[in-house]
A = this chain, B = another copy of it.
Amino acid sequence: MLLLKKDLFIGGVLLKEFEFIEKIKPSYYRNSSVIKGIGDDAAVVSPPNGYELVIASDTMVEDIHFSFEYMQLSDIGFRVLAANLSDLAAMGARPLYYAVNIAVPSTYSDEQLTDLYVGMNELAQKYKLDLIGGDTVSANELVITISVFGKVLPNRKRLRSYAQTNDIVFVTGNLGEAAYGYDLLQSNFLLENYFTNRHKRPIPRIDFVELTDSVIRMSLNDLSDGLASELNEIAEASQATIVIHWDDLPIHSKMTNIEIEQLKKYVLSSGEDFELVGTCSPTEWDLLKEATNNQLPVTPIGKVTAETSTPEVYLTINETKTILCKSGYSHG
């Protein structure tokens, strides 16, 4: 496992350069469970005893998942790693290591590549993550794959199949802020405010994992694909019916004057805030509220009303109950 392949063809086969590896190779590892980090054919780790290992990976592509029009390379590094850490949070896992695979145009300088890692390193420092490997190759557009590794106690993992009848459905933070920030950026690349930052530098909800260790059973998803999609996934995996209420959905006060159909798109269909949606029993809900009190906003938005072989998600709005599809479209 190497970290830079330059296009030096000899006999039709790539030779590789090693200078860049030395530049980004950590001088020490934060986790003692890293037996061998960067610098051999592969990394060797010894995940902590008694824990299960959680593995997530995400790929992001220039002009599809991010844009240089209004993002620095360090923002992009930050955002891709944040998206991955959000997947760990959604499993109830604490971060341990990450690996970075980059396909990059040969016009990039070492300094630009390093900026990508600077953004990642901000999160890595905060959550004590170790960079253990990856690969860097040439391509015509920037494609970044990050893999993250976390640990979870077997009885504290948060699967989307764990919802049960009578569970309270909750979300962290507010809904639709990143998508709203994205749209603001489209009309003004230079704009910088709370919402644009929610798109450029989303904070994964690792704090939620740390605060809710005492809660035994929770189903959980991150809002990478939007509330409607994630709730439908929980409903399907748990074979359950979920009912949520429009009036209970947490929306930033500065977004409430947005035209209703557009607001519904932001709140129901837009993801990538990397907030969490989940369910737990009414008893554990009290525990969860207490554990997160004053530190992290968690809002109840509905209930799991039944376990069923025909799972559905319903949205009540103005006392009308409609079926909420994955796409966020709702119909009677």
**What are the interface flags for A58-86 relative to B under an 8 Å C-beta threshold, 1 for contact and 0 otherwise?**
11110011000000000000000000001
Quick one: which of A186-239 are within 8 Å of B by CB?
186, 220-222, 224-226, 229, 237
How many chain A residues touch B (CB < 8 A): the figure is: 90
Contact of A225 among B16, B88, B272 (CB under 8 A): B16
Main secondary structure of the interface of A (DSSP, over half): mixed
Q: Is the CB of B64 within 8 A of A139?
A: yes
Q: Is the CB of A183 within 8 A of B101?
A: no
Q: Is the CB of B87 within 8 A of A138?
A: no
User: Which of A6-14, A121-129, A304-312 is near enough to bind chain B?
Assistant: A6-14
Q: Is the CB of B138 within 8 A of A99?
A: no
Residue of B nearest to A222 (CB): B41
Q: Is the CB of A101 within 8 A of B54?
A: no
Contacts A52-B44, A139-B141; is A265 near B11 (CB within 8 Å)?
yes
**What are the interface flags for A86-109 relative to B under an 8 Å C-beta threshold, 1 for contact and 0 otherwise?**
111011010001010111000000
**What are the interface flags for A123-151 relative to B under an 8 Å C-beta threshold, 1 for contact and 0 otherwise?**
00000000011111111110101010110
Q: Of residues A15, A102, A224, A328, which shows the largest number of chain B Cβ atoms within 10 Å of its Cβ? A: A15
Q: Is A182 an interface residue (CB 8 A)?
A: yes
Contacts A11-B183, A13-B179, A40-B91; is A135 near B45 (CB within 8 Å)?
no
**What are the interface flags for A142-185 relative to B under an 8 Å C-beta threshold, 1 for contact and 0 otherwise?**
01010101101010010111000000000000001011101100
Q: Is A55 an interface residue (CB 8 A)?
A: yes
**Residues of B with C-beta under 8 A to A145:** 57, 59, 101, 135, 145
**Residues of B with C-beta under 8 A to A327:** 10, 15
Residues of A within 8 A of B (CB): 1-2, 7, 10-16, 35-36, 39-47, 52-61, 64-65, 86-88, 90-91, 93, 97, 99, 101-103, 132-141, 143, 145, 147, 149-150, 152, 154, 157, 159-161, 176, 178-180, 182-183, 186, 220-222, 224-226, 229, 237, 262, 265-266, 269-272, 326-328
23 A-B pairs with CB atoms under 8 Å apart are A1-B55, A1-B87, A10-B226, A11-B180, A13-B182, A13-B226, A14-B271, A15-B229, A16-B225, A35-B154, A40-B237, A41-B86, A41-B220, A56-B133, A57-B99, A57-B101, A58-B101, A59-B135, A61-B103, A64-B138, A99-B147, A140-B140, A147-B147
